[in-house]
C-alpha cells in the first residue's frame, strides 16, 4: 500500500497538472499512433529508440512501486495513477466524472482505437472498467472511506461503437454496509451496456484501547 499525505497547495497541484496532463495526453496520442501507423520499419525502429531515450531520462528519478493514493492537507484525493481516471496514466481515457452529489454520476468519454475489442467496437472489458469506476465513485463521493465493488454484473445489450460514449450511474438502494448501484453506457441509439453493482463499505475495526 502506498497511501501518503502530500503538502501540496491547490496552486501547486494545478501547476503540476499543467505539466503532467499534456505529457500524458501526448503518450495517449503515441499509443494510438503505434496501433495505426503505416510507416516503414526503419522509422518504427527510430521511434522506439527515441521513446527509449525518454524512458531512460524519466526513470532516472522515480518513486518505487505504484503511484498509490496521495491526499492533500484538505484530504483531497489525487488518484493520478488510476487506470480509469488517472491524470498521469495514459491507459485512462481519462474518464472525467460529474458528481452532482444527489446519488448519481455521469461521464462522457472518447474511446479511440486503443479501446477496441471486436472490430470497430469498444472492448467489452473496457466497458466493464469504465462502469466499475463510475459505480465506485457514485457510492464513495463524500465518504471518508471508499466502498469497494463486491459484485459487478455487466449485461451487453448491443455493440458499443468506438467514439464518444456516455455513462451514467445511480444509487438504487442501501442495506447495512451494502449499497446497490445501477449504471449504463449509452449512445444516441440508447443503452448498449448495463451494470448492476453491489458495493461494500469496508468494516473498520475500532483501535483496541
Q: Which residues, numbered 57-96, are part of the site for a second copy (CB under 8 A)? A: 57-63, 65-69, 80-84, 86, 88-91
**In the block, which residue shows the cell 500524458?**
24
**C-alpha triplet 73, 74, 80: angle, nearest 5°:** 80
Nearer to a second copy, 103 or 159 (CB): 159
User: Binders of a second copy among 148-167, rule CB under 8 A?
Assistant: 148-156, 159, 162
30 scored as a contact of a second copy (CB under 8 A): yes
Give the DSSP per-residue string, 147-192: -EEEEEEEEE-S--BSEEEEEEEEEEEEETTEEEEEEEEEETTEEE
Task: Indicate which single residue of 10, 20, 76, 172 sits in contact with a second copy (rule: CB under 8 A).
Answer: 20
Rounded to whole angstroms, the Cα distance separating 99 from 143 reads 13
Residue 163 CB partners (closer than 8 Å, separation 6+): 110, 111, 187
User: Binders of a second copy among 118-147, rule CB under 8 A?
Assistant: 118-120, 123-126, 128-133, 136, 146
Cross-strand partners of 182: 170, 196
- The cell numbers describing 151, all together, are 459484485
Instruction: Kindly state the smallest distance separating residue 134's Cβ from a second copy, in Å.
Output: 9
Instruction: Kindly state the smallest distance separating residue 193's Cβ from a second copy, in Å.
Output: 10
53 scored as a contact of a second copy (CB under 8 A): yes
Instruction: Kindly state the smallest distance separating residue 209's Cβ from a second copy, in Å.
Output: 28
45 scored as a contact of a second copy (CB under 8 A): yes
User: Binders of a second copy among 102-121, rule CB under 8 A?
Assistant: 112-120
Amino acid at each position: 500500500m502506498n497511501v501518503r499525505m502530500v503538502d501540496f497547495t491547490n496552486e501547486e497541484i494545478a501547476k503540476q497538472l499543467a505539466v503532467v496532463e499534456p505529457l500524458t495526453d501526448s503518450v495517449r496520442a503515441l499509443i494510438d499512433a503505434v496501433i495505426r501507423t503505416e510507416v516503414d520499419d526503419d522509422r518504427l525502429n527510430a521511434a522506439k529508440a527515441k521513446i527509449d531515450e525518454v524512458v531512460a531520462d524519466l526513470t532516472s528519478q522515480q518513486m518505487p512501486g505504484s503511484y498509490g493514493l496521495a491526499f492533500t492537507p484538505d484530504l483531497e484525493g489525487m488518484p493520478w495513477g488510476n487506470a480509469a481516471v488517472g491524470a498521469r496514466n495514459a491507459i485512462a481515457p481519462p474518464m472525467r466524472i460529474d458528481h452532482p452529489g444527489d446519488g448519481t454520476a455521469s461521464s462522457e468519454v472518447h474511446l479511440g482505437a486503443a479501446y477496441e475489442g471486436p472490430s470497430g467496437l469498444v472492448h467489452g472489458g473496457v466497458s466493464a472498467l469504465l462502469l466499475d469506476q463510475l459505480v465506485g465513485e457514485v457510492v464513495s463521493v463524500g465518504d471518508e472511506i471508499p466502498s469497494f465493488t463486491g459484485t459487478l454484473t455487466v449485461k451487453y445489450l448491443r455493440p458499443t461503437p468506438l467514439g464518444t460514449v456516455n455513462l451514467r450511474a445511480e444509487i438504487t438502494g442501501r442495506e447495512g454496509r451494502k449499497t446497490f448501484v445501477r449504471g449504463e453506457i449509452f449512445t444516441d441509439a440508447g443503452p448498449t451496456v448495463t451494470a448492476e453493482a453491489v458495493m461494500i463499505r469496508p468494516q473498520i475495526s475500532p483501535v483496541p484501547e
